[in-house]
Chain A
């Protein structure tokens, strides 16, 4: 079995973000970087599948500058067999269609049985790349997956819908799965595995070799939303505050109606 898991390196979400000089992305200085949280679930699921089927080869793919290799090493330490680094110093300037095009071009003649991606990235959050890759490769895709099981070529996936509803989907591999938070418990990369990851294959491929599609959209500007009025802080003794709260809830909401 051949498995591909696609990951992205994103800033730690506790970082202080600033809009960059071009006004279309955030400034990359003074940020700490880590694996996109959704992708951690994708890596974990792909490693679990590899452990289940035993005879599997698991490739982790990541697009970006040399800096992303550190995040790829984490995926290798978690259990991926090899890394495909698509070298691109301007990955953040590419829109989802281009990113998906690069991944599909890489994957098209490699006969992957399963392709895992995160449901979305924590920074751009388009949630398009996984499903676009499937479309470009002519594969089915199952998105927002919270539970995954595989048996003899059949995938049974549980999807998370709005309003707390779940859906069960059965699909034949090859298939693209986009992973939702909470799908599993991502393992820690143990120190011995971190050390072993050093010796695993990590090939760099120039993005020019794989970028065959044109962009279809452009980000005009990114910005922080204007600050609305701050929250209301009630002060005084507890009985007074409770009275005020009840009054506000009655006047402004329907919860006590």
Chain B
């Protein structure tokens, strides 16, 4: 398996890195402290650079690029600001991709086009107080009433909530069907009658990315907003999460790389016992392990992105990529804090933020345990 990037992928990486360093990084610390989402910067600029629809065909407003390009963009953004990285990942993988995969032509024209062009932002509502890892436990209901569906229930921990204009929401349409079979997916627009937002979460990390509850109280949506077939919701969710894992794996990879870059820079500057600490073997061995783990994670991420782009199965590979990259991000960012010592523990340096940000990558879009379940069941099927 060889991953030599194309010229286009190299140009994209240079462009996103320059943008991230020049425009995103300077406010990352402040936005984290203030729990502030800066839409013009964290989404508006991404739209202007053509990043909000990377993988979708041009006819739907996308850039017609591949999943490796997508991974590169999320990685480079997350290298300086994981909140910006997840904004793109949740918008594209979770809010937009289900419409591309399962939407009718009309739904693609109506909803995917403005999402891909970045005129609207997307989000995804699956998790509930009693249904996270166990998506089959969905309690939100949708009842057909004439030309409409009536939605009732609450979704929690929703990335991009409040900001996004378009939500993919999962609800039980058949109470009698077995757990996974009675669920359907819906496209719900912000402003739909009966749709409101609950509390905003105060989080350990990715604090500049908004996370809120979605509340549906007799929320009325058009019958046409059913995404895919009735009862197909579980499939929509699982297929979407396969792709979503590539986004989060890339985010984790970016956090890890960002932490390593800071640690290497610091180790070259910081002097103890009249020598830069990078000359000490103890530090060199740590840096070597960090870099090696990152490189291994990167290959898994690109492999799963390659398979997604070439129509090959990638459920198992994207689970491996996310598992490896997120655990690498946690390990590497923790080690980076250790190398920076007291400075690393302060907010003067970005590694403590990176360490806080890394933790969520082991939890959302399938915990590490779920990734192991996916991989394990693929092995023993």
Binding site for B on A (CB under 8 A): 34, 69-70, 73-74, 77, 188-195, 197-198
Contact = CB atoms under 8 A, between A and B. Distances in A.
Contact of A34 (B8, B14, B63): B14
A47 to B, nearest CB: 15
B223 interface: no
A77 B10 CA distance: 13
Contacts of B63: 191-192, 195
B49 A74 contact: no
B160 interface: no
In this complex, which of A190, A193, A197 has the most chain B Cβ atoms within 10 angstroms of its Cβ?
Answer: A190
Given A191-B51, A192-B58, 17 more contacts: A34-B14, A69-B7, A73-B11, A77-B11, A188-B49, A189-B15, A190-B15, A190-B49, A190-B50, A191-B54, A191-B65, A191-B69, A192-B50, A194-B12, A195-B63, A195-B65, A198-B8
Interface string B37-59: 00000000000111100100010
B19 interface: yes
A107 B8 CA distance: 28
Interface of B: 7-8, 10-12, 14-15, 18-19, 48-51, 54, 58, 63-65, 69, 73
A195 B64 CA distance: 8
Nearest to B10: A70
Contacts of A74: 11, 14
B19 A188 contact: yes
B48 A190 contact: yes
B8 A195 contact: yes
A99 to B, nearest CB: 24
A193 B50 contact: yes
B70 to A, nearest CB: 10
A43 to B, nearest CB: 13
Contacts of A189: 11, 15
Contact of A188 (B8, B15, B54, B65): B15
Contacts of A193: 50
Nearest to A35: B14
A73 B7 contact: yes
The 6 closest A-B pairs by CB, nearest first: A191-B50, A190-B50, A192-B50, A191-B63, A70-B7, A192-B63
B10 A191 contact: no
Contacts of A190: 15, 48-50
A188 B24 CA distance: 14
Contacts of A73: 7-8, 11
A235 B47 CA distance: 51
B25 to A, nearest CB: 15
6 contacts: A73-B8, A190-B15, A190-B49, A190-B50, A191-B15, A191-B73
A188 B54 CA distance: 16
Contacts of B12: 191, 194
Nearest to B51: A191
A108 B159 CA distance: 58
A194 B11 contact: yes
Contacts of A197: 8, 11
A148 B58 CA distance: 35
Contacts of A188: 15, 18-19, 49
A15 to B, nearest CB: 14
A232 B136 CA distance: 68
A198 B9 CA distance: 12
A73 B15 CA distance: 12
Nearest to A69: B7
A192 B14 CA distance: 15
A197 B49 CA distance: 15
A97 B51 CA distance: 42
A74 B8 CA distance: 9
Given A70-B10, A188-B49, A194 B15 contact: yes
A77 B49 CA distance: 12
Contacts of A192: 50, 58, 63-64
A188 B73 CA distance: 14
A4 B15 CA distance: 24
Contacts of B50: 190-193
Nearest to A72: B7
B19 to A, nearest CB: 6
A5 to B, nearest CB: 17
B38 to A, nearest CB: 18
B220 to A, nearest CB: 37
Contacts of B15: 188-191, 194
Nearest to B70: A191
A69 B10 CA distance: 12
In this complex, which of B14, B18, B73 has the most chain A Cβ atoms within 10 angstroms of its Cβ?
Answer: B14
A198 B66 CA distance: 14
Contacts of B10: 70
A197 B18 CA distance: 19
A190 B8 CA distance: 11
